[in-house]
Structure 1
Amino acid sequence: MAQPTGPIESWVERQISAAIERGEFDDLPGEGKPIPGIDDPPDPLWWIKRKMKREGLSVVPPSLALRKEVEDALEKAEAAHREQEIWDLLEPINKKIRAAIRVAPVGPPLNLMPIDIDRVVRRWNERRAR
């Protein structure tokens, strides 16, 4: 164990000095590199953001999530086997759109109107007739 260098050296400092002498800090990941984020402004949610990144999670604003849901539902409607499937897919989406229009969701503007299901069904029938 390393000898204290003076009366001010604390027990912790002595432990660190001893570990350095034993080489316990050699070859650590990131050695010689700047500490990531050291110059970033303080962020009280840093640990949440880091955890979400590490876990591969993301938070999508409700308006964007609804837009994606509409897009996915329209794709499924194109592949439907019966007209009723189209109605079953799109009517619940229209209810969500109407609700979101009444109470604006958090995030970017919704920019959606209820889907004209009759029009989707007409186009679906036209594609099937070809």
Structure 2
Amino acid sequence: MTDRWEAAAEAQIRTAQERGEFDNLPGMGKPLPGRNTPYDESWWIKSFLEREALPTDLLLPTPLQLRRRIERIPDEVRDLPTEQAVRAHVGDLNAQVLAWLRNPTGPRVVVRPANADEVVRQWRAARDRSRAETGPAPQTPRSRRGWWRTWGRRTGPG
């Protein structure tokens, strides 16, 4: 019975070739990707991450993800507008670290909460450096309208 199926499939392929349905297919004449590379058991995960443009950090265990985020704090808070926003960002990350410390999973890796005061100090220093490089912020000219209002309200003797 399998011989019949194989023969029918081969006949359909042959007739499709004769009709030219396999001509001008994308990738025709090009080598197969990964042909000369050694076999990798996780090829499908790597191709999925590449195709979907996902960060490879998703494959890391939780403690290593947290350590990587702690290392990246200065870059993440650089553009935040206020000290309060910086402290909130560090507080959220520290809450995740404490949640992991209460119920650790994955490899035993030392993960400590970030020091919010130190992060704020680094944030201020980076902000001051960027202001020094770009120069002082332009001052908007004061409106003369306010002067006239003040002057016009004065009533009474001298």
TM-score of the pair, normalised by structure 1: 0.56
Q: List structure 1 segments (4+ residues) > 6 angstroms apart after TM superposition.
A: none
Instruction: Map residues 36-115 of structure 1 onto 2, 5 A cutoff.
Output: 36-37=33-34, 41=39, 43=41, 50-59=47-56, 60=58, 61=60, 62-71=62-71, 73-75=73-75, 77-106=77-106, 111-115=110-114
Matched pairs, number? 120
Identity %: 34
Shift of 1:48: 5.8
Is residue 14 of structure 1 aligned with residue 22 of structure 2?
A: no
Shift of 1:18: 1.4
1:42-94 per-position Cα deviation (integer Å, ceiling 9, x unaligned): 85x76565444333234522344434543554445455554433332212212
- Measured in 2, the distance between the counterparts of 1:125 and 1:47 equals 44
> Cα gap change, 1:92/1:52 in structure 2, threshold over 3 Å: closer, same or farther?
closer
Structure 2: gaps (5+ residues): 133-158
The RMSD of aligned alpha carbons is 4.0
TM-score of the pair, normalised by structure 2: 0.49
Q: Which structure has the bigger radius of gyration? A: 2
- Measured in 2, the distance between the counterparts of 1:82 and 1:105 equals 34
Structure 1: gaps (5+ residues): 1-6
Give the SS at the match of 2:112. Answer: coil
> Cα gap change, 1:110/1:100 in structure 2, threshold over 3 Å: closer, same or farther?
farther
> Cα gap change, 1:83/1:23 in structure 2, threshold over 3 Å: closer, same or farther?
closer
Shift of 1:21: 1.4
> Cα gap change, 1:72/1:10 in structure 2, threshold over 3 Å: closer, same or farther?
same
Would you tell me which structure has more helix in proportion to its own residues? 2
CA contact (8 A) 2:67 2:111 kept: yes
